[in-house]
A and B are shown apart, each in its own frame.
Chain A
Amino acid sequence: MDLLEHEGKRLFAEVGLPVLPSFVARTPEEARRAAEQLGPHVCVKAQAKTGGRGKAGGIRVCGTAAEVETAAADILAMTIRGHAVESVLVERAVDIARELYLAITVSREVRSPLLIFSREGGVDIEELAKRAPEALLRRPIDPLLGLLEYQVRDVVDAAAFGPDDPGGTGAGRTLASVARALWKLYHEHDATLVEVNPLVLTKGGEIVCLDSKVTVDENAFFRHPDVLPEPPEDEREAKARAAGLAFVPLDGDIGVIGNGAGLVMSTIDQIAAAGGKAADFCDIGGGARSEVAQAALEAMFAGPPVAAVLVNIFGGITRCEDVATGLVEAIKAAGVDAPVVVRLDGNAAEEGHAVIEAAALPNVTLALDPDEAVKLVVDIAGKRAAASEPAIAAQPNAEAPGGDA
């Protein structure tokens, strides 16, 4: 789970990382009051779980409380990369001498945390990593040993603070304690990412964490009962998650239900290859029970219109007969009238077919293999979309004559 900048900075402060005085504001009013307390020279920053805030205009430096109020009003009305801005962070501004980069994240390759540092931080860090990989210091951290002192020294050496830098070589000592505190945060809070970009050296010679990017491991929430999991934004996702299903809303019109993440992903790929577009990724796992199938269908139909549904089940240990029984009940209970293509194979597939055939639901079609099932559902969805298209096209003319003039 990603944290907002101000949530990350609260953790920063807890482990002793240097952050600037700030207040979170949810209204322009609150922002102005914050500026009055902090002094007029402040930065107003959109709180959104995405990068590119600066480029989108979500970060403004202000000189008066009135400016802060206007900036906050503008930023609170923004949506950045699909994320509505619900709060701003009003933070005391500083004069920057140098921007550095410091992060710890998990590396799949070395199967351990990896510390990354660069004396040239800022928004172009990825460019730098590509152009001059040697400009970035990388040190794998043995999770059983923690960050070692030589690694901390490597960071300070790479920063190469000289007598011309504000604070001189003394800034190195602060940087060392920042590196140690960042590891402490990463380890103790079960983070999978902690990133400070930029980590700045101010003209006054102080080291300050100007931004925070923190991602915590949802699988470790049992160790952190104080952390509240965030509710999903999408209604379909919320419904499915409540029923214990893995559900990702997509933007097509073919509903997809399957068992196993790989199988569902593969089914969606094949729908795309056949010219269709999936409305969701829904993995019912070993869920043969009718409640699970019903929850999946309900979640699917809570979203934008679905032209057709494909149920693709390979019964390993799961018996297809149980899935079929659950599905038939669910289709009846949820009142699904959209066409449903069902493919059952593996364990008790024949019994499953018999259940579907006996139910004789007019909108349910059995497919014998996955390739046929995909072809069938894409065909049906295509025809339904074509049939409903003239009606949709006619609407603007009927409701708003001359509207496009």
Chain B
Amino acid sequence: MSILIDNASRVLVQGITGREGGFHAGRMLASGTNVVAGVTPGHSGETVQGVPVFDSVHEAVAHIRADVALIFVPAPRARDALFEAADAGIKLIVCITEGIPVRDMAEVMAHLPRREARLIGPNCPGLITPARCSAGIMPSEIFMPGAAGVVSRSGTLTYEVVHELTQAGIGQSTAVGMGGDAVHGIGFIECLELFEADRETEGIALIGEIGGDDEERAAQFIRDHMTKPVVAYVAGHSAPPGRRMGHAGAIVEGTSGTAATKQAALEAAGIPVAASPSELARLLGEAIKRRRTT
């Protein structure tokens, strides 16, 4: 088992004829992922890395069953690509594109529930279930199948932690890079819920960073609902406070948002918080070992 994707997942890549889309489709194929179709308007009938390309997601799913849409479409057209994937019936959408306007993402997030579609990202590295499926741009070479769940707002910190875990012999069930944009798809809580229900996952590493209150809300959720061990790391303790115009931001977010408030909220919920990514890997290894012996 794993969460969100496994070896049965069939991935469709939107923007497959672009440089990034083509490159990563190739890497995903090489790591054993079922990349079943590509979509780029005006390119129907072509193939990229042996994968058939269609003009639209609707056309693609009429020919080939797909259950994950992976989006590499440039920011100005990403909103449309997201709507298209959801309207064509794809239930898991992963958006790698960065720089999408907040307005577009708010509109997408208002629409997705009507199609019962889930979104990961945007501005994220996607997700991976090692040796079974990669839907994104994570370097599959550093991953290894196993019991650790990873959910993160940062790409490179995920790699850093996963690399340490793998070297210590601790494999991963699924790693999710959820992205850090103000308006994004699934967050820590949804992932934690899935990891809690997943038989394979025995412990979870949560990697947060400054801004928003995802970590604070996750802390409360972990305290109230998680039986599996969760360990955390928060980046940005020495980041200069962001300039804030007006009062609305403070009214909406209150005192949350700094690395210190996040760490305090997590610790108050009894979650060990590491001082560095390497310590996080160590803490998770210990937590999983403890769980196995008790």
Contact = CB atoms under 8 A, between A and B. Distances in A.
Interface string A157-199: 0000000000000000000000000000001001011010100
A265 B239 contact: yes
Interface residues of A, number: 66
Nearest to B277: A266
Given A50-B243, A263-B160, A370-B278, A347 B141 contact: yes
A226 to B, nearest CB: 16
A126 B247 contact: yes
A346 B139 contact: yes
B239 A215 contact: no
B245 interface: yes
Contacts of B250: 126, 129
B111 A272 contact: no
Nearest to A277: B238
A190 B213 CA distance: 23
Contacts, number: 187
B157 A260 contact: yes
Interface stretch (B48-56, B148-156, B197-205, B218-226): B148-156
Nearest to B139: A316
B239 A108 contact: no
Interface stretch (B6-14, B36-44, B95-103, B286-294): B95-103
Contact of B248 (A193, A259, A272): A193
Contacts of B105: 111
What's the dominant secondary structure at chain A's contact region? mixed
Interface in B105-159: 105-107, 109-111, 137-139, 141-142, 152-159
A103 B153 CA distance: 29
Interface in A96-143: 101, 103-109, 111-114, 116, 125-126, 129-130, 136, 142-143
Interface string B234-248: 011111100111111
Given A114-B252, A263-B160, A270 B103 contact: no
11 contacts: A49-B245, A101-B247, A108-B252, A190-B103, A219-B100, A220-B103, A222-B75, A261-B209, A273-B237, A314-B156, A346-B163
Interface of A: 2, 49-51, 101, 103-109, 111-114, 116, 125-126, 129-130, 136, 142-144, 187, 190, 192-193, 195, 197, 213, 215, 217, 219-220, 222-223, 248, 250, 258-263, 265-266, 268-273, 278, 281, 314-317, 345-347, 369-371
